[in-house]
Structure 1
Amino acid sequence: MRRVWLLGGGALLLLIFGTEMVLRLGLGLGDPPLSVRDPKVDYLLKPSQTYQRFGMVYSVNAYGMRARDPSPTKEPCEFRVLVVGDSVLNGGAVVDQRVIATSVAERKLADALRRPIWVANISAGGWAPEHQKAYLERFGWFDADVAVFVLSTHDLHQRAAFHPDMGPNFPAQAPPLALFEAVERYLPRYVPFVAQFLPVPEEGIARPGVDDPKAAEAILTDLLAEARSKTKQVVVLHHRTLEELSGDAPPDEIKDGERLREIALAGGAAYLDLGPVERNPPGGETLYRDGIHLTAAGQAVLEGALTSGVIGVLAELAAGQPDSCRAAPAL
């Protein structure tokens, strides 16, 4: 009997070890993108990290952005574009670094303008304009030429919560085993039986924020005004949820969507509603992986809007530069 128990225990250990290796080496579990708390911003991505998840690369620079590091000082012929948002812009670990909207826009703008281009991706899951404003106050505007804000209708309600427990979607340290992450974060989401016993994490959403429309609107207004004073152009890209695209959004949400447009225009920003192209994507591709977050194809649509929204002003600036700037881009 003892031998049977030993054999059974050994087999169980081998099963656990094998499963751990598959999850860790095959899927990249056990090494999730980490967040750090900040007394001003609330939380942001842990700086200077690169992860391999689900066959995708997820890289964070020294400033907690999902972008490459900028040069310490802006080059004479260089253009810089700050793109600011939440989990929609960030893309998450299921979208590779090279195909997120900001990475593709950086390459396309450099090729089109024949200039060094740096495009920032200042974002984190669950961020509201209050987080974004606090981030820019802490780190500055990086001598940007253009600022682009990727906003959703709910941003007119959400404020930072500074909740002490960020939950499994925002780990501050890696779990001891990939198995722990699989059980806590993914099994409840994809296995209905497990969901009866464990809470289902909401992808890309932090702990409940403060629902304060009046304050959130004032913060966004101030943020756009500051962007106007720091850059040469401000662009607002209004991303829509599937509920909005289907016409099932409640009346208050429809009014909020229109109010967001009014605030953007009153703040002197160029406003682009992504709804029409998100509703009828080219080629009928699937743009959404849930009710709000984008697939790689969705990121391509976002990139198209981003590039078209900034290339005009950058081309005008390029025309005023000396002929020596007309060289191959340095990326």
Structure 2
Amino acid sequence: MRKIAVAGIAIVALAVASEIGARYAGVIDFPLYEANNRVGYLPLPNQSGSFMRTNDFYTNDLSMGVIDTFENTENDILLVGDSLVWGGNPYKQADKLGPKLQSALDERGVDAKVWPISAGSWAIINEVNWLEDHPVVVSATETMIFILNSEDFDQPSSWRNPLTHPRERPASAIGYLLYKYIFSPAIPAIEADLTVPSRPVGEALAATIANCSCRVQIWLHPMKAELALPSDQTNLEMNFSKIEALLPEGTKVHRIRDIPDWGQKLYRDSIHPTPEGMNILGQAIAASLD
């Protein structure tokens, strides 16, 4: 009995130590989300943390990826996108596109404030719905910039997975790791009351652009594999060609693949740029605003 008791105590001690170690390592210090049937999901406002104690993040009062409370300044740049703007857990805050663009503008002596609004796997309809729900932000904007990839033209994203877009902090860090990486649960079905209705993409984007008394840029971001294809043969260009004629006159379209020295070495995976890639893209956007 004594051996059993000792073994039990050892197991409990090991579990407690593992839990403390996992929490200290920051494995559950990740952004939390809210969910609805308009934008699907959105990082909670006014939160901050440091995933794995290295990759910091924060959001402001409107869930934007900046620490500053939103205000109407003389030169506001609204940067809209999916994970290409949000970045997510693999990036430090300073390595995300919003901060890189802000740094590039500061280096050029441009007095402007970048306000990034985004969430991983957002589609165009998710973005448009957020903009429609925040007319004060749109009216304050002098420049609106969309970062789009081929998947953004699909159906809007709805919340469905607590592992990719958690809405609450796990009670146990070890339990969370086991559940996510060992048991690998199936992705649940989308709840009816959280389903974002589909809308015609071109008409919705065009109406949003027309509703903003600002200059608008669209930056088309290719998948890593798309760089090996002629531009007009990529899903990105084929999807964009279906809506391009609907966009208001004056909408500026830029192709990231045309940035000098842009190439596959600037991707950290199939779609997301490395920190160096984010910096090059930020510099290119800043140069276009001159």
* Interval of TM-score (by shorter of Structure 1 and Structure 2): 0.7 to 0.9
The aligned residue for residue 134 of structure 1 is 129
- Aligned-residue offset at 1:247: 3.0
Q: Residues of 2 paired with 1:129 and 1:79: CA distance?
A: 24
Q: Residues of 2 paired with 1:278 and 1:183: CA distance?
A: 44
Aligned with 1:168: secondary structure? coil
Tell whether 2:255 aligns with 1:273.
yes
1:46 pairs, out of 44, 47, 67, with: 44
2:109 pairs, out of 110, 113, 122, with: 113
The answer on whether the counterparts of 1:83 and 1:121 sit within 8 Å (CA) in structure 2 is yes
The answer on whether the counterparts of 1:31 and 1:178 sit within 8 Å (CA) in structure 2 is no
The aligned residue for residue 244 of structure 2 is 262
Q: Residues of 2 paired with 1:8 and 1:131: CA distance?
A: 53
Q: Residues of 1 paired with 2:228 and 2:86: CA distance?
A: 24
Equivalent residue letter for 2:205: L
- Aligned-residue offset at 1:268: 2.5
Kindly tell me the number of residue pairs found equivalent between the two proteins.
Answer: 283
TM-superposition CA deviations, 1:255-290 (whole Å, max 9, x none): 525516835865532111112449844xx8x43232
TM-superposition CA deviations, 1:105-158 (whole Å, max 9, x none): 21331342353x310110001211111112112223261111100011222223
The aligned residue for residue 90 of structure 1 is 86
1:223 pairs, out of 199, 208, 220, with: 208
The answer on whether the counterparts of 2:61 and 2:70 sit within 8 Å (CA) in structure 1 is no
Equivalent residue letter for 1:299: M
Equivalent residue letter for 2:133: R
- Aligned-residue offset at 1:46: 0.3
Aligned with 1:51: secondary structure? strand
Q: Residues of 2 paired with 1:93 and 1:198: CA distance?
A: 19
- Aligned-residue offset at 1:220: 2.2
Tell whether 2:273 aligns with 1:294.
yes
The answer on whether the counterparts of 2:256 and 2:262 sit within 8 Å (CA) in structure 1 is no
Comparing 6-15 and 121-130, the one that deviates more: 6-15
The aligned residue for residue 243 of structure 1 is 225
Q: Which runs of 4+ in 1 moved over 6 A?
A: 209-212
The aligned residue for residue 20 of structure 2 is 21
- Aligned-residue offset at 1:81: 0.4
Equivalent residue letter for 2:41: Y
Paired residues for 1:155-234 under 5 Å: 155-161=152-158, 163=159, 165-185=160-180, 187=181, 194=182, 198-199=184-185, 215-226=200-211, 229-231=212-214, 233-234=215-216
The answer on whether the counterparts of 1:159 and 1:216 sit within 8 Å (CA) in structure 2 is no
- Aligned-residue offset at 1:97: 1.0
Unaligned runs of 5+ in 1: 188-193, 313-331
Change in 2 beyond 3 A, CA 1:41/1:210:
closer
Equivalent residue letter for 2:184: L
Change in 2 beyond 3 A, CA 1:309/1:114:
closer
The answer on whether the counterparts of 1:264 and 1:270 sit within 8 Å (CA) in structure 2 is no
- Aligned-residue offset at 1:6: 1.9
- Aligned-residue offset at 1:39: 4.4
Q: Residues of 2 paired with 1:146 and 1:243: CA distance?
A: 30
TM-superposition CA deviations, 1:272-312 (whole Å, max 9, x none): 1112449844xx8x4323212233222212212221222x2
Q: Residues of 2 paired with 1:255 and 1:296: CA distance?
A: 25
Question: TM-score, structure 1 length as denominator?
Answer: 0.74
The answer on whether the counterparts of 2:32 and 2:168 sit within 8 Å (CA) in structure 1 is yes
CA RMSD of aligned residues (A): 3.2
Comparing 272-281 and 28-37, the one that deviates more: 272-281
Aligned with 1:126: secondary structure? coil
Question: TM-score, structure 2 length as denominator?
Answer: 0.84
- Aligned-residue offset at 1:52: 0.8
Change in 2 beyond 3 A, CA 1:73/1:81:
closer
The aligned residue for residue 6 of structure 2 is 7
- Aligned-residue offset at 1:25: 1.3
Equivalent residue letter for 2:58: S
- Aligned-residue offset at 1:23: 2.0
Paired residues for 1:30-41 under 5 Å: 30-41=28-39
Q: Residues of 1 paired with 2:223 and 2:186: CA distance?
A: 20
Unaligned runs of 5+ in 2: none
